[in-house]
Amino acid sequence: MQTTPQQLFTAAQQQTIVNAIKNAELGTSGEIRVHIENTCALPVMERAIEMFYSLKMDNTELNNGVLVYVAIDAKKMAVVGGESINIKVGQDFWNDVIAQLRSSFAQLNYTQGLTDAVTEIGKKLSHYFPIQNNDTNELTNDISFGE
């Protein structure tokens, strides 16, 4: 029986990732989500974009949502940002985040890799989209798991 993506993370590890998302969002109006699944039948960016829209990441007021997408068994990962953040950071930043994720995952440090990625994304978001007085958490901070 194949291990589900959710089974790869203990409840404590999942909470660590969720806490990283919450902490990263304290300084920004941006929204961060993490989606983890085992396989990725599509080209990774195509699948990540599909999940970005499926998780309604495009429904943020400032179009500054960011999705960290990982297909563990397929060893594929991508970061998708909303239009507003993509204009600001450029592809090199996303490539750096993915390189860091790959390095951590190669050492089986899944939780640390994801929390580090979320933290870096949060720093970048807070630079370009600082927290506003009337900011609300537009999207859940929970990890999304696929098959």
Residue 7 has a pLDDT of: 82
Is 110 inside a domain boundary?
yes
Domain CATH number, residue 125: 3.10.310.50
Is 84 inside a domain boundary?
yes
Q: What's the rounded Cα separation, in Å, for the pair 56 and 38?
A: 21
106: tokens are 């190669």
Vertex 103, ends 27 and 147: CA angle to 5°? 80
Residue 131 has a pLDDT of: 85
The pTM score is 0.93
Is 48 inside a domain boundary?
yes
Instruction: Enumerate the β-bridge partners of residue 130.
Output: 28
Q: What's the rounded Cα separation, in Å, for the pair 63 and 9?
A: 30
Is 136 inside a domain boundary?
no
Residue 8 has a pLDDT of: 86
Q: How many domains does the chain have?
A: 1
Write out the residue range of the structural domain in which residue 63 sits: 28-129
Which pLDDT tens digits describe the chain residue by residue (147 residues)?
A: 567 888 889 999 999 999 999 999 999 989 999 999 999 999 999 999 999 999 999 988 888 999 999 999 888 999 999 999 989 998 899 999 999 999 999 999 999 999 999 999 999 999 999 987 776 766 777 899 987
Specify the 3-state DSSP secondary structure of 89. helix
Instruction: Enumerate the β-bridge partners of residue 67.
Output: 33, 80
How far is the CA of 64 from the CAs of 48, 105, 119, in angstroms? 16, 26, 15
Q: What's the rounded Cα separation, in Å, for the pair 109 and 69?
A: 16
Is 115 inside a domain boundary?
yes
Q: What's the rounded Cα separation, in Å, for the pair 50 and 43?
A: 11
Is 22 inside a domain boundary?
no
Is 86 inside a domain boundary?
yes
Is 12 inside a domain boundary?
no
